Amino acid sequence: MSKIGDLRKWIEDVEAMGEIRHIDGIDWDQEIACVTEFNRTTKHGPAFLFDEIKDYPKGFRVLTSAVRNPSRAALTLGFPIVRTDLEIVELIRKNWDRWESSASRFPPQVVSSGPVLENMDSGDKVDLLKFPVPKWQPLDGGRYIGTGDAVITRDPDTGEVNLGTYRVMVHDRKTTGLYISPGHHGKLHYEKYHERGQRCPVAISVGHHPLFLLMSSMPLPGQEYEFGGAVRGESINVIEEELTGLPIPADAEIVLVGWCPPGVTRQEGPFGEWTGYYASKDRPAPIVNVERIYYRNNPIILGCPPFRCPSDAGYYTQIIKSAMIHNELIKAGIPDVRGVWLHDAGIQLFIALSLKQRYAGHAKQAAMLAAHGRAGAYHGRFVVVVDEDIDPSDTNEVLWAMCTRVDPAKDIEINTRCWSTPLDPTIRKPADAFFNAKAIIDATKPFEWLDEFPKAVTADPEIMRRVKEKWGFIQETGK
């Protein structure tokens, strides 16, 4: 596996692939998001690198749509380039156990210097709006510098360091909001400090290699740096930040450093979230008093704005969790799983998995484990099981199976009081607790008369192969 460089090396490699578009002279107020949203209906669109942004000097840039398709996901993880969703999921799935088991061999490497130290603003020089922070959507409560970020905190009891992708809103020159949903490690960390009457040290990297975005979004308590090192095949260089002692990426573009004080909140939001809704109103949220900013010359913000699905904020979640769910099923002893995919229309709300039925109850067993395992439990809505002749990443095939193989009276089961989130648009706020329900849909052929089920209309595979070879204009679409 190839070594993985910094964000600028990543951009060079994407340039060589012909998958980046440079746009100069755009407005930070919603226009960056509008251009990025052109990619919403196709995952074959380019990454966008914005420069000469209105009100800002040349060189202060924003990158969006970084991990938005299989080829750029493969590049980010150091794999050979692939073109389909299930190919990248299979690569992740086959390497996941090796990454997890070897992570302890790649602790972050503390270094004394790095590109992130090229510039440092502290005290009265701190100005978050020195950088071209976008306002993404018209109803957002402000400008959000943290969308593709990595928020770095440390557990005061264990000393474990966590990286999490949480939304970070700019309140003023020296203050950000910090919204973290219940149960996430960053929130648990600052709550421990606050229970002791202490302020929580926080570092926020808002520009970095996209691998940091993938790491920060994984359910890996206190192992993100190590896991990323395993993916890279070498330890990640970090600098022990002077004020907080937190390890910050030496190759980061921009890192904000400060303190989250107990008992201090400001109104945060609303923010258009990954569900495609403003599902939570503005509300009091903790703040970070920023005391220092480290940044490279000509710094780059990594933007990952959520839109109505599919969006920038979804693809990396889809490929990672699809691989994790597939592996969880295998480890639980579920035989003949052929594929798992979290669908574009719902990201983690809609899971489809295919298998070859081996025994009565096989499909239901697999669906329940996919719905309630570590990777699939959070804020799920639908789990659909299909037969092995259905591509689980093809929405039309999955819907065809649902329409032709499901008897709604007996093939749909509802699970209630499942793990949800304040971002769930179906939960009326305020609420005392956040539960949702899940539909388990068995879209497989009835096992009792599997061999009697009507044969599907399909071309002969050998003739199809010959036709494709003979008529060159017939191409694989790639999913």
| DSSP-assigned states of every residue in 265-290 | EEEE-----TTSS--S--EEEEEEEE
Cα 342-348-350 angle, rounded to 5 deg: 60
Q: What is the mean pLDDT of the chain?
A: 91
Q: Which domain holds residue 442?
A: 315-449
Single out the residue in 239, 273, 302 at which a domain terminates.
Answer: 302
Q: Are 209 and 251 in contact (CB under 8 A)?
A: yes
Which domain-ending residue is among 273, 302, 331? 302
If asked whether residues 324 and 204 sit together in one domain, one would say no
pLDDT for the residue numbered 425: 80
* In-domain check, residue 474: no
Residue 2 has pLDDT above 50, yes or no: no
Is 464 domain-assigned? no
Check residues 4 and 153 and name the one with the higher pLDDT. 153
Q: Does residue 455 fall inside a structural domain? A: no
CATH number of the domain within which 433 lies? 3.40.1670.10
289-313 pLDDT, tens digit each:
999 999 999 999 999 987 777 777 7
CATH code, domain carrying 146 = 2.30.110.10
Give the pairing type, strands 337-342 and 350-355: antiparallel
Residue 5 has pLDDT above 80, yes or no: no
Domain assignment present for 308: no
- Rounded to whole angstroms, the Cα distance separating 25 from 321 reads 37
Amino acid of residue 83: R
- In a shared domain, residues 97 and 225: yes
81 in any annotated domain: yes
Enumerate residues 6+ apart whose C-beta is below 8 A from 60: 51, 53, 130, 131, 132, 298, 299
DSSP H/E element including 438: strand 435-443
- Distances in whole angstroms, Cα of residue 340 to Cα of each of 226, 248, 386, 445: 26, 35, 10, 18
Cα angle 459, 463, 464; round to 5: 60
The β-bridge relationship of strands 61-64 and 337-342 is unpaired
CA distance 92 to 337: 16
Structure confidence by residue, pLDDT tens digits, 369-408: 999 988 888 888 999 999 999 999 999 999 999 999 999 9
Taking CA atoms, 471 is separated from 308, 462, 465, in Å, by 38, 14, 10
| Residue among 209, 155, 143, 149 nearest 186 (CA) | 155
292 and 419 co-located in one domain = no
Residue 355 lies in a domain: yes
pLDDT over threshold 80, residue 3: no
Over residues 65-85, mean pLDDT: 93
Please tell me whether residues 333 and 418 are part of one structural domain. yes
353 in Cβ contact with 367 (< 8 Å): yes
For the chain, the straight-line distance linking the first and the last C-alpha, in angstroms and rounded, comes to 24
Number of domains, the chain: 2
Token pair in block for residue 310: 């599919």
Query: What's the CA gap between 33 and 38, in Å, rounded?
Result: 9
pLDDT of residue 6: 94
Question: How many CA atoms lie less than 13 Å away from 290 in the CB half-sphere?
Answer: 30
Compute the distance between CA of residue 403 and CA of residue 395 in angstroms, rounded to an integer.
12
456 is a domain residue: no
Tokens 């209105």 locate to 54
Q: Annotate 91-128 with b (16+ C-beta within 10 A) or e (fewer).
A: bbbebbeebeeebeebebeeeeebbbbeeebeeeebeb
Residue 475 has pLDDT above 70, yes or no: no
Q: Is the pLDDT of residue 183 over 90?
A: no
Question: If you average pLDDT over residues 240-245, what whole number do you get?
Answer: 97
Highest mean pLDDT among 122-131, 179-188, 209-218, 302-311: 122-131
Determine which of 185-189, 205-209, 260-264, 276-280 has the lowest per-residue pLDDT on average: 276-280
Helix, strand or coil for residue 318? Answer: helix
Q: Which two tokens stand for residue 243?
A: 């004020």
- Regarding pTM above 0.85, the answer is yes
Q: Are 276 and 320 in the same domain? A: no
Residues 292 and 322 both lie in one domain: no
Angle between helices 85-102 and 315-331 (to 10 degrees): 70
